[in-house]
Structure 1
Amino acid sequence: MDDKLKKRKYRLGYEYAFTPRRSFKYKDDVIDSISITLLFNIYDTAGNEILFESENEEFIEQKIKLNDNGEYYLFELLECYIFDKGLFLGEYSYRFIPTTQLLDSGYMLMFKVSKFTKDVMLKDGFSKSIEIEEAEFNDIMRKNLGVFKDKIRIKSYITQEADDTENIFEKLVIGTTRSGIGAEFSNVGGNNGI
């Protein structure tokens, strides 16, 4: 088969935005929002990774069919919760938890943190997205918990072409339950399983 006729395979990810009820000051910046970008790996009930296929050389957002449990965008398979200052334990004030649909399907969704960003307001009224370290993201979140809306929004999707030779299992950390234990961020680039 001609290489040009082969469909290219890829993974999807999403940028999750934590939006405040109002902009707020953090150090020298006025923060409009902060975001986490996650790259996903999804596995069927037999443990085989499911990759998306390009259409006309384009990597587009697609839904995945979970057996008889319906079709979903990958971001619909995780819920993100922000915890009140008095409720959260440990260093994280947010947590990604698998949906009932994902758990009932027997599929496994893994994610890797691609990056953390903050959107800062500029003098001209526009905002600029700046990549930040996980520690700064957590500090912004922790010091301003009451300011963020409960609903997380999806800003955009990302794609990563899959290499047929890579062994993704060497990079994964697996282990979570319905409570979300194990779905915390340990470091940028770390992998998390659901």
Structure 2
Amino acid sequence: MAMSRTLSLGLLFALLCAAATSCISPPDFSDTPRIKFENLDIVRLPNPPGFQTEYSDTIRIYFEDGNGDLGLSTTDTMPPYDRTVDPVTKEVNENYYNYFVQTQIKNPSTGDWEDYVATGLPAGVYNSRYPRLAPESDKEAPLKGTLKFNTSVTVGPVFPPGSEIRYRVSIKDRALNRSNEIFTSSHVIER
């Protein structure tokens, strides 16, 4: 009798849980990704004597996407995701990347933020790819979460002590929809 009652209560509980979860509708996100700045973690790395100080910066962004088509696999190398290089500008096809990072330096004279572009290197030197975030499937589904991106900053002629830097970030989905742009918090480079 007690076993029958326990099974009945367990079955009732399972049915109630199933009914409750079936009433939850999926979030209604846009098919164009949206991002929000979460955090910028800055770690000063130990350096041997005679070497320049280096920082490891980790950018964390929250993302939402309505159909979950975020990320590129290692096999996503055919157009439009190919790594074609423009013969004139030497820039890589923008669609090869899906994570866009632009370092900015605060001009101490004007207080304006200016894009840093490395001398002799093409624009977008910090751009990157992040892997597919949902399992391979033909089924579209909303997706949300946090992306982390690590980069390093070396104290020297480009980023002298006292420089204040931040990052401008956006992402792109496989349908080539580009998200909004966000700015991270800033930090001052110390010797």
Same fold (TM over 0.5): no
Greater share of residues in strand: 1
Q: TM-score range by the shorter chain?
A: under 0.3
